[in-house]
Amino acid sequence: MKNKQAIILLFLSNIISGLAQGISMIAIPWYFIEIIDMPEFFAYSYIVITSATLFWGIYAGSLIDRYSRKNIFILTNLVCGLFIGSIAIYGYNNNYLSELMVVAVFAITIFNYNIHYPNLYAFGQEITEKGNYGKLNSYIEVQGQTTSVLAGAFAAILLTGTVDRKLEIAGFNFVLPFDVEAWNIYEIFMLDAFTYMLVIAIISIIKYVPIKKEKIHTGSLIDRLKIGFGYLKENPVIFMFGITSYMLFAFTLVELHVILPSYVHDFLQASGNVYASAEVYYSIGAIFSGVLILRLLSKFNTYFAVTFLMMNVALAFYAMTFYKSLVIFFLGSLILGITNAGVRILRTTYLFNHIPNNLIGRATSVFSSLNILVRIILISVFALPFFNIGDNIRWGYMVGVVMMVISSFILLILHRKSPQ
């Protein structure tokens, strides 16, 4: 694999930033539900933030195809680090953060996600040979989810602290050599800000040679977007595959930030370490996919493979709807990790093989924007009063079942016209 050192440094920077970001993005929803008891405020804020990213996602895709992906990483990390660091310093000085400040950190992290990951995959495609695309995407998944395991474990410690040096993570009890006090939300943000700055230093020393020189479209934003949309219009099967295969990812993001914390709090009636432990099980499943999914499903048509994974997670969602059990909850989180990561690896490898690198950012932004529209609808649905009554949030998983079944049906129809 060429540009091996550049890829290693890219992964290292992603691990460092992903760890602190992961802790923050676990802590913020729990903060609104458990600490200050404002789940509705968070849900409505999430709708507004997600709606705003619809326009940002489209624009971000054009930037990724127009400018140096390395420089985009440096600039976005600088902006996020300074912004979140300023809020953390305010929290330290006043021993307090308003709800809007906490939401602002959540917002800028979501905005960063919408350029970071498309840029990461586009950069990876740019510096990797075509024959290694599948391996690259598996590596990205493994390193990302290994980081999430650590983020979930640290979040379990920092959200609740320890008593008598005892800690429960993923249903297992551990004894630490010392007690850990629960961190304030602004302390978590300071750690987050520090890692952004550390990542800038690592990205700055990356040296690479593009595998293939692609023509860069330097026209206006509208012209560049038209080219991206035009390519997908000329390839409707690829377009429909992208939309349907993104449905699990869309639901997973909403599940993580809206359904999951309320499900743990209201249905399972469990504590923050159970909530954070779900991330650990999810990540273990995702690591499994990163290591083995291409080997296990390589002989199958991509459409069939994605359908198989979606139907499996539909069964898990069904069980989580009706059974109040930590075992089923953790098993469901594990299956969600396996399936969502598996679908992402299969989808990204498929798109890499069918979309030129100089169009991948804009094409991905189209899928991301449609994904955002779906998330806006889902968040709006789960913000309805019905889902805030008693343990009704569990019915959110039944919505996931319906989405997976419909998407699977469409994929089975599409495979007949597949370009592969």
Q: What is the pLDDT of residue 317?
A: 97
What is the pTM assigned to this prediction?
Answer: 0.74
Q: What is the pLDDT of residue 417?
A: 63
Residues 386, 388, 391, 397, CA torsion sign: positive
Cα 52 from chain centroid? Answer: 17
Cα separation of 418 and 420, whole Å?
5
Nearest to 72 by CA among 173, 200, 189: 200
Take residue 242 and report the two structure tokens written for it.
């992208």
Q: What is the pLDDT of residue 402?
A: 96
Q: Where are the domains of the chain?
A: 4-417
Nearest to 338 by CA among 293, 404, 398, 278: 293
Output helix, strand, coil percentages for the chain, rounded to the nearest 5.
80, 0, 15
Q: What is the pLDDT of residue 212?
A: 66
Q: What is the pLDDT of residue 288?
A: 86
Runs of H (alpha helix) within 259-356: 260-262, 272-297, 302-322, 326-354
Q: What is the pLDDT of residue 215?
A: 54
Pairing outcome for strands 166-169 and 172-175: antiparallel
Cα separation of 244 and 408, whole Å?
8
Summarize pLDDT for 119-144 with one digit per residue, the tens.
888 888 888 887 787 777 777 777 77
Show the CA angle centred on residue 104, arms to residues 98 and 105, nearest 5°. Answer: 100
Cα separation of 107 and 83, whole Å?
11
Out of 3.20.20.80, 1.10.275.10, 1.20.1250.20, 1.10.1200.10, the CATH code matching 4-417 is 1.20.1250.20
Q: What is the pLDDT of residue 71?
A: 93
Cα separation of 306 and 339, whole Å?
8
The enclosing H or E element of 125 equals helix 99-126
Summarize pLDDT for 93-112 with one digit per residue, the tens.
999 999 999 999 999 998 88
Give pLDDT < 70 ranges for the chain: 1, 149, 152, 156, 169-171, 212-225, 228, 417-420
